[in-house]
Every structure is written in structure tokens, then in C-alpha cells.
Amino acid sequence: MSDIKHREEWTVRSDGDIDAYLAVVGERLKKTDLVFGDVTLIAPDQLALTITEHARLAEAVESNELVDLVGPFWSTTRTQAALGVSRQALHQARRDGRVLACRGGDNQWVYPLSQFVRSGSGKVAVRPLLRPLLKALRNLDGWGVATLLLEPATELDGLTPLDWARQEKPVEPVQKLAARLAADLAPLMGSPAA
């Protein structure tokens, strides 16, 4: 059993594999001071969902330079939960350019985490200053939009749109950038992805 205690990843093929995994988690928790203090741990249902979503996301997005540049990502299920919307509402938001999604290798949608911000009340939303860009570029491939958010822009004083949004700068330069990019990229943009 000592060889599996130090593994970084687990391959689960049977109930026995799950039991072994849970036994190791339990052993590690017992060895920490956390168990004996006044600490709140993640609920078992949420932990199982997180593990499942992590596994699905690993299958959906194979690591490469682009994925490493744009990620990390949330799955559709995780994004729905964070935004508090139905699958249909998230689908419509993606089509309308109100949320950025990239299609993974297995045709599952993944959502770059950098586009989201959590308010003081804990509510998650798309960063308001990114909305003009996402809407203007909604017909462009999600991976293309995601990389454009990481490119410095003259309209934004050399900052990337993502950095501009994180710094909560004025919206007008973002609107100008969105208009320029939409015009420049119009030949590449077809209809929105279904």
C-alpha cells in the first residue's frame, strides 16, 4: 500500500480503487491537525462532484500550449452552478456572446476561469468590462477570443483586455477595441457555434 500513498493521480477502474483512494484520503486527514480543530471541510457530495468534474475536464481538454495559456477552465456543469443558471440559459449566453466558451477535443464546452469575477457577496459573473468584446466577437472561435483577451492592445494603453478588466478601467476603450476587432476579423467570423 505504501507505493499508492504517494501517487499524484489515480486511475479508478473499480469500487476497490475508490475504496483505496478514500482510505488514503482518510489516513492523510487523520495525520493533520485540521481534523482535531474547528475546521469546516468540503461536503462529501461537493467533493465527489469536484473530483468527477476534474476527471471530465481532463478528458475534455488535453494539455497543450494553447490550453496552458488560456486555462484553467470550468466545465459546463461547474459554470452552471457558479452562475446559477440552467444548461439552456448557459447555452444561450454562449451563443449571444455573454460568456466565453471554448470547445474541447471531445466537443464538450469549457469556460476559461479568467473571464469570471466573484463579487463581495460571493456571486460569480463575467467581468463587466469583457462583455463588449465577448459580444462583438461572439461569432469568432472561442479559442481565438480567449487568446485575444491575452494580447496587449493599443486602445488599452498596451494592457491586455483581461488586465484592463481586472483593473476595472473605463469601458469606452474596450468598446473601441471591440469595434476595431469586429471590423478587422469580420471575414473570419461566421455564424455562432451551436
pTM reported for the whole predicted model: 0.66
Q: What is the pLDDT of residue 146?
A: 92
Residue 33 lies in a domain: no
Give the pLDDT of the chain (194 residues) as one tens digit per residue: 334 444 455 666 677 777 777 777 777 666 665 545 555 566 676 666 666 655 555 554 555 676 677 778 888 999 999 999 999 999 999 999 999 999 987 788 999 999 999 888 888 999 999 999 999 999 988 988 999 999 999 999 999 999 999 999 999 999 999 999 988 887 776 544 44
Residue 4 lies in a domain: no
Residue 146 lies in a domain: yes
Domain span at residue 116? 63-188
Q: How far apart are CA 93 and CA 128, in angstroms?
A: 14
Residue 9 lies in a domain: no
C-alpha grid cell for residue 167? 483593473
Residue 28 lies in a domain: no
Q: 58 near 104, Cβ under 8 Å? A: no
First CA to last CA distance, the chain: 48
Residue 47 lies in a domain: no
Residue 1 lies in a domain: no
Q: What is the pLDDT of residue 108?
A: 87
Count: domains in the chain: 1
With both helix axes pointing from N to C terminus, report the angle between 87-96 and 76-83 in degrees, rounded to the nearest 10.
Answer: 90
DSSP structure class, residue 99: S
Residue 174 lies in a domain: yes
